[in-house]
Structure 1
Amino acid sequence: MNDPLLEALRQAATWPKALHRVASAGGEHFFAGFHHLLPGGMPSDPQIHLSLGPSGQVIWQRGNGPALVMYLLNWGMSAGWRLQFQVEQEFDETGDRPLYTVSIVGVGEYTAHDPLTATLQSLALAQAREAQR
């Protein structure tokens, strides 16, 4: 499956202490907010556990999308970046819908129709810039 959000989650799992990823035959699992890994690689008592099934279904085992967005924003601030989160309404012929922009001061910004994608992609910009240093 070539899903941009899935790719962004996989990328975030490579950042130190951001997300932890476990792949299994039944899909992929992403964890956040845990203290340590248990033998076998599973996190101990995570605050957030998102499972993605093989056909793309999203199952929140623990936590939810807003909790993951807040966790990732906090992770970015802990990394020393100044973040700004903005929501505005976009109007067009199909109606109105929210538009989310996450800016990292001095790095760049990413705008998307969902807050998780905007957050992950803006943090990816910051991580890429950090890796170039």
Structure 2
Amino acid sequence: MAFTKSPVGQYLDRHPFLALALLVFIVTSAVPVGFFLLLVILTTLVALVGVIILEGLVISVGGLSLLCILCGLGFVSLAMSGMMMASYIIASSLVNCRFSPRPLTQQNPNGDCQLAMKAADFKGLYQE
């Protein structure tokens, strides 16, 4: 045997009681060490699977939340740009109607700017 040629093997050959005690210790400690290693491996696998599931859950919930928030922001931005565009069109038409270079005599006394402008345009066409 190659073990008996080493210094530890030669020492155990000279002390058989110590060799038997070491053999019994190794055999009896194999079961707790095996259980400990099995526990470590199972804990590692469970932690790995748990992290994968937890990360998947967190990423899924976060992704859905982000999608909902971005869709809401898109709707709000469309609504706000529509209101701003309508406000701009209304304000510019009011300013153009109120401060138009036409004489005040051609404006409609009722304040209806569109009808006054159309009437003024038609008067200009007929006078020519």
TM-score by length of 1: 0.19
Normalized per residue, the structure richer in strand is 1
TM-score by length of 2: 0.20
Q: Which has the higher contact order (CA 8 A, sep 6+)?
A: 1
Normalized per residue, the structure richer in helix is 2
Over alpha carbons, which structure has the higher Rg? Answer: 2
